[in-house]
Structure 1
Amino acid sequence: MDYIFEKNKLYNYLGTSLVNTLKQQKAYIAGGTITSIFSNNPVNDIDLYFRDEESLAELIEEIYDDSNDWVNALTSKALLVRVDDKEIQMIHFKYFERAEDIFNTFDYTVCMGAFDFETEQFVLHEDFLKHNAQRILKFNKNTDFPIVSLLRVQKYKDKGYNISKPEFLRVALSCMELCITNTDELKQHLGGMYGINYDKLVELEEGEAFSLSKIIDKIANIAMSEDYFEKPKEIKYDDVEDILDVIVKGPVRVVNIKEHTYRITKKNTLREFENEPNNMIEIDGKQYIESQKYYKFVEKRDGQYFSHYDSKYEYKFGEINVPKNEHLYFSEKLEIDKSNYFNKGVLIEVVIPYDNFTKKDSDKILANGCYVVREIPKEEYIKWTEVKAVPIF
């Protein structure tokens, strides 16, 4: 079943811009959002899951660059941000090749629904619809965080769901199977307890041995804490690299070009930053620039190519083209849609010698010389930016 109505409803809630971004990164939405869509309840927040680390990093850069939204929380498991009026949680403790793999980490079948933005299809556990219709909780003993599952029982009961005593016992016994030997492990399993300062909760005196019994005693007094009812403080990151340093575990490709340092993204575009990451692979700047092609929309008249900005400036084959003033401006392959003249005239492909490359400024490549390689057929370049039309509910 295609669930066209539910898909249109989801797309309408997200908005065209966010839908297109999620398609580009082949992300998943899973959990409560999908449950709300199918049970006709308001969507409170969005949980995003990813196929790989680079897709997550790309999405973070996209949202961070295009907005002034606050980052609400950044933990070892997830990044919580606000985009427009939507709270979006980006999960980064694991990555998933298939939507079904996400369900293995979930606790209850009633939240085992997902939408795959690569296929633009819903993926539902075989009992997802039945158990939501019956309003019953069935527990997945393989969930990563059963303590949180125990806490979530009350949340579901408030929403009209019920759990049988045997099923509740399964949750409790799963918690008993955990081997928690230090405060870091405990924090992992307590993740998601809204409004509680975990550091104070598990704070031990210097030299004091970890003991769950001591933690249990501390919890007894937690409601008396003066900050118990306070919401988590919103955090503003001045540099997206500060966020990526927490999230990205794999090595980052870095290239130094003319006193500018760039990260090479999954889309093979350059992103400038000031502080080099701890884990990186350095790429030779000259080799990188001279292996790339760059692009520009121009006006074609009688077989000749002229600048849109200066109708008298001609881009010629077989010779180096130098600017009348300081710079010529180009786009990287997967950013041609950000050109001021996107889809106007024709697209030419150029190479830029390393000595003529100046820098990347925002989404523009600046150079003081280039060689024209060819004109790109429209049917070729349109595939680089092609995004399917988004139906609006």
Structure 2
Amino acid sequence: MIYKHEEARQYHELYFLDKFLEGHKGFIAGGCFKNIFNHEKVKDIDMFFRNEKDLNEAIHYYAEKCASDANHIKLVYKTGKVVAFIHIPSKTQLELVRSVFGEPEEVISNFDFTVTKVARYVVDGEHRIVIHPQFFEHLHLKRLVVDNTLNFPISTFERMIRYVGYGYKPCLETKAKLVDAINSIQNIDENDFSKSLYEGLD
């Protein structure tokens, strides 16, 4: 798959993300972009990192923010996969992902649905996005499309049910791919329903 790398400044809807890309080397990726381009309220933002060092620097940055301005940033919770802060003025939850590392394109290529395959990042002071070439088409059609291997088919199935509740519809090929992937699992137990790439909400 050839992803599109573009200048982020051409998308005015993304300007408000600037403040969440300050003070660290992380990048924003995932389901928040479907909300942004649908002009819906963004409740949570998933922040990814190229390596553990960048993650730790970001956690330290936000921890210092919590200590210096408790009315602005607050720690919400920690799990094995995520450290979450709340940006109080906008009521936006920032989820710093600690279980997945890589370059923006590498990270989004592992997401299941094309309507989540977008990342916004800063390189050499320039704001950029990397985006699936069919993102806007599938977003407009509210179509759920899986275009790669399903690493966590049970998780994808659960997410598909949630997206159907949002008005999205899986295409025929995606439904067939998901059924095949689930059928290939020899023994499904309840623990499979908690497995996911990074515990993202979208």
Category of TM-score, reference length = shorter chain: 0.7 to 0.9
1:121-179 Cα distance to aligned partner (Å, 9 max, x none): 11101111221122211114424322111111122222221113442231132233346
Deviations 1:94-132 (A, max 9, x none): 211x21101222010111011012241111011112211
Is 1:112 paired with 2:117? yes
1:23-102 aligned within 5 A: 25-67=24-66, 68=70, 69-72=74-77, 74-84=78-88, 85-96=91-102, 98-102=103-107
The equivalent position to 1:152 in structure 2, one of 154, 159, 171, is 159
Question: What corresponds to 2:3 in structure 1?
Answer: none
Residues 376-391 of structure 1 aligned to structure 2 (within 5 Å): none
- In the alignment, structure 2 segments of 5+ residues that lack a partner are 1-5
Cα deviations across residues 208-235 of structure 1 (Å, max 9, x unaligned)? Answer: xxxxxxxxxxxxxxxxxxxxxxxxxxxx
Secondary structure of the residue aligned to 1:120 is strand
**What amino acid maps onto 2:178 in structure 1?**
V
RMSD: 2.8
Q: Cα–Cα, structure 1 residues 148 and 137, in superposed 2: closer, same or farther, change >3 Å?
A: same
Distance 1:152 1:59, change over 3 A: same
Aligned residues: 186
Q: Does the CA-based 8 Å contact 2:153-2:181 persist in structure 1? A: yes
Q: How has the CA–CA distance of structure 1 residues 77 and 131 changed in structure 2, closer, same or farther, with 3 Å as cutoff?
A: same
- C-alpha distance 115-175 of structure 1, shift in aligned 2 (>3 A): same
Normalising by the residue count of structure 2, what TM-score does the alignment of the two structures yield?
A: 0.77
Separation of aligned partners in 2, 1:80 and 1:179:
34
For residue 189 of structure 1, report the CA deviation from its aligned partner: 4.5
Aligned partner letter, 1:40: H
Query: Whose RCO is larger (CA < 8 A, sep 6+)?
Result: 2
| Aligned pairs for 1:131-142 within 5 A | 131-142=138-149
Q: Which amino acid aligns with 1:58?
A: E
Q: How does 1:364-379 map to 2 (within 5 A)?
A: none
Do the aligned partners of residues 76 and 183 (structure 1) sit closer, same or farther apart at CA in structure 2, a change above 3 Å counting? farther
Q: Secondary structure at the match of 1:117?
A: strand
**Structure 2 contact 104–121 (Cα < 8 Å) conserved:** yes
Tell me how far apart the structure 2 counterparts of residues 185 and 122 of structure 1 sit (CA, whole Å): 33
Residues 27, 104 of structure 2: 8 Å contact kept: yes
Task: Structure 1: state its 5+ residue gaps.
Answer: 195-393
Which protein has the larger Cα radius of gyration, Structure 1 or Structure 2? 1
Percent identity of paired positions between Structure 1 and Structure 2: 23
Deviations 1:257-301 (A, max 9, x none): xxxxxxxxxxxxxxxxxxxxxxxxxxxxxxxxxxxxxxxxxxxxx
Cα contact 1:104–1:143 (8 A) shared by 2? no
Equivalent pair of 1:71/1:82 in contact (CA under 8 Å): yes
After superposition, residues 262-277 of structure 1 pair within 5 angstroms as none
1:1-393 residue pairs with structure 2 within 5 A? 2-6=7-11, 8-12=12-16, 14=17, 16=19, 18-21=20-23, 25-67=24-66, 68=70, 69-72=74-77, 74-84=78-88, 85-96=91-102, 98-118=103-123, 119-178=126-185, 187-189=194-196, 192=199
| Counterpart amino acid of residue 117 in structure 1 | V
Q: Which amino acid aligns with 1:103?
A: I
SS of the equivalent of 2:151 reads coil
Measured at CA, do residues 159 and 174 of structure 1 come closer, stay the same or move farther in structure 2, by a change above 3 Å? Answer: same
Q: Which digits, 9 at most, give the CA deviation of each residue in 1:12-50, with x for residues without a partner?
A: 2x464x3322xxx32211111222222322212100010
Asked if the contact 1:141–1:171 (Cα under 8 Å) also holds between the matched residues in 2, the reply is: no
Structure 2: how far apart are the matches of 1:122 and 1:190?
Answer: 21
What is the rounded CA distance, in whole Å, between the counterparts of 1:112 and 1:89 in structure 2?
17
SS of 1:63's equivalent in the other structure is: helix
Would you say the 8 A contact 2:154–2:193 is kept in 1?
no
